[in-house]
Amino acid sequence: MDSTVSIFQLKMEDGITFFLLSSVLLLTCGLSREDDAVCVRPILDGNIELASNQTHFSPGEAIVLSCKQGYTPVSGPRRIVCIVDGTWTRTRYMCKSKLCPYPDPPANGEQYYEDTVYLSTINYTCHEGYTLKGSRTAVCQANGTWSTPTPECKAVSCGLAPIPKFGMIIYDRTVRGDKTYFGIGGTYRCLPPYALFGNPRAECTIRGTWTKTPECRVVTCPPPDNIEKGYMSNGDRRDFDFMETVKYGCNDDYVLDGNMEIVCQQNGNWSEKPSCKASCPIESEKAKIEYRGKKTWTSDLQNKVILHKEIVSFYCKDTVRNCTYTVPTQCLDGVLKLPECFEELSKFEYNLNSTEIQQC
Ligand SMILES: *[C@@H]1O[C@H](CO)[C@@H](O)[C@H](O)[C@H]1NC(C)=O
Ligand SMILES: *[C@@H]1O[C@H](CO)[C@@H](O)[C@H](O)[C@H]1NC(C)=O
Ligand SMILES: *[C@@H]1O[C@H](CO)[C@@H](O)[C@H](O)[C@H]1NC(C)=O
Ligand SMILES: *[C@@H]1O[C@H](CO)[C@@H](O)[C@H](O)[C@H]1NC(C)=O
Ligand SMILES: *[C@@H]1O[C@H](CO)[C@@H](O)[C@H](O)[C@H]1NC(C)=O
Ligand SMILES: *[C@@H]1O[C@H](CO)[C@@H](O)[C@H](O)[C@H]1NC(C)=O
């Protein structure tokens, strides 16, 4: 028959589990095969080890208790003895987990742990831009030490950025020595007249390498052509370097449309050339106009022209209402469309000057 063994178990927050083995409550019923074997093997806390595999004990027989690996004994006695009535002598023997010291987090990193008892683990991580040198985990060992020391978090470094031939880099921040760290960037430039091909921005990456280095190449543009009705600042029939410029101007009465200056671009082409647009001759001899914010007569115009893109307003007459109104028109490359309502005033009216008709 089985024996009944009662054990009071107390679990405490710090991980200690202990048992009170009570000689009063630990009792056996019936007899075993051997008449004098009155005590049965006691059931104990899982962290306590018994020095014997025996299942039945005679009065006077003793068992020595010990703690499993990673646990240390607290209070005693270690030895319990089988008593005639089938119980064991009292003990307060218990086994407490060994504690590892509280760990310190690595500089520039974090640690994660829940406890510091035997077999607890710590996980280590490093902040972005730092690499972990050492072990990512540590385990609390049976002797109360961590299996590995705190790892190091080392900043990812790249070394100086590679410089393309005929180029240079301007770092975003001051670089000391020959080390650069994750996150630092720079901008590449090519020495004139070399042109930059690739990404001018570079960065020290998390892998400890620099992003792709651009190239500096020679770029030339063919000699630019002149523009119609105009002239250029540099008529040399030679190849021009990247970023070189040439200026254009227009002959009298022609107006430059577009950028005055062209630049030799990275692709070996010139930027868009301007063109010279013709002025509009004023054929009407005797028209009253509004031009450059003033009322005047066409006959008073200098050179008798309106320049390209300029706006001029002509007077039209509303015969029904006996009044005049203005209609604007623009000179576009030599073409000035007169408003349909416009009629040249008679020589008489023009000379008279006094017949100012009211504006509508
Ligand atoms: C108890 O028995 C197990 C196997 O059942 C054996 O491995 C162990 O060595 C024994 N312990 C003692 C103290 O006899
Ligand atoms: C440590 O990492 C392991 C594996 O990623 C995970 O299972 C465990 O929960 C972590 N422990 C702690 C305390 O964060
Ligand atoms: C603790 O145990 C580990 C593993 O058995 C061993 O390497 C280490 O030297 C021990 N430390 C001490 C202080 O005894
Ligand atoms: C350069 O200009 C030529 C002619 O206008 C054009 O065909 C060519 O595509 C341009 N090259 C580039 C790289 O834009
Ligand atoms: C018309 O009259 C104005 C003054 O009202 C005068 O300044 C101008 O010279 C005159 N023009 C002609 C053509 O008589
Ligand atoms: C038009 O008005 C002017 C004054 O603004 C006047 O002298 C003239 O007689 C008028 N003409 C007609 C046809 O009404």
How does residue 349 score in pLDDT terms, banded at 50, 70 and 90? low
pLDDT at 7: 35
Whether ligand 1 lies within 6 angstroms of the CB of 53 is answered as yes
Q: Which long-range contacts (CB under 8 A, 24 or more apart) does 74-79 make?
A: 74/16, 74/18
Q: pLDDT by residue (tens digit) across 33-73?
A: 455 668 999 888 889 999 888 889 999 999 999 999 999 99
Cα separation of 240 and 242, whole Å?
7
b/e code 272-311 from CB counts within 10 Å (16+ = b): ebbbbbbbbebebeebbbebeeeeebbeeeeeebbebebe
Contact between 239 and 282 under an 8 Å Cβ cutoff? The reply is no
Cβ atoms within 10 Å of 201's Cβ, excluding its own: 12
pLDDT at 76: 79
Tokens of 286: 């005797």
Ligand closest to CA 322: 6
Closest protein CA for atom 1 of ligand 6: 322
Ligand closest to CA 54: 1
Contact between 156 and 206 under an 8 Å Cβ cutoff? The reply is yes
pLDDT at 37: 67
How does residue 132 score in pLDDT terms, banded at 50, 70 and 90? very high
Q: Which of 319, 323, 349, 357 to mutate to test the pocket of ligand 6 (most atoms within 8 A of CB)?
A: 357
Can you tell me which atom of ligand 4 is nearest the CA of 267? 13
How does residue 287 score in pLDDT terms, banded at 50, 70 and 90? confident
Contact between 223 and 238 under an 8 Å Cβ cutoff? The reply is yes
Mean pLDDT, residues 224-248: 93
Q: Which of 53, 54, 65 to mutate to test the pocket of ligand 1 (most atoms within 8 A of CB)?
A: 53
Mean of per-residue pLDDT scores for the chain: 85
The 3-state DSSP class for residue 18 equals strand
Ligand closest to CA 319: 6
Can you tell me which atom of ligand 3 is nearest the CA of 144? 1
Q: Which of 117, 123, 136 to mutate to test the pocket of ligand 2 (most atoms within 8 A of CB)?
A: 123
Q: Is 339 a residue whose pLDDT tops 50? A: yes
Q: Is 145 a residue whose pLDDT tops 70? A: yes
Closest protein CA for atom 11 of ligand 6: 322
Closest protein CA for atom 5 of ligand 6: 357
The 3-state DSSP class for residue 311 equals strand
Cα separation of 292 and 312, whole Å?
8
The 3-state DSSP class for residue 347 equals helix
Q: pLDDT by residue (tens digit) across 310-327?
A: 999 988 888 888 888 889
Q: Is 351 a residue whose pLDDT tops 70? A: no
Q: Give residues (CB < 6 A) around ligand 6.
A: 322, 357-358
Whether ligand 1 lies within 6 angstroms of the CB of 50 is answered as no
Q: pLDDT by residue (tens digit) across 209-221?
A: 999 999 999 999 9
pLDDT at 315: 84
pLDDT at 346: 53
Mean pLDDT, residues 265-289: 90
Mean pLDDT, residues 17-41: 51
pLDDT at 36: 65
53 CA distance to ligand 1 middle (Å): 6
Mean pLDDT, residues 16-32: 39
The 3-state DSSP class for residue 351 equals helix
pLDDT at 288: 81
pLDDT at 195: 94
Whether this prediction's pTM lies above 0.75 is answered by no
Cα separation of 184 and 253, whole Å?
56
Task: Tell me the pairing of strands 288-291 and 311-318.
Answer: antiparallel
- Point out the least confidently predicted range of 48-52, 253-257, 264-268: 48-52
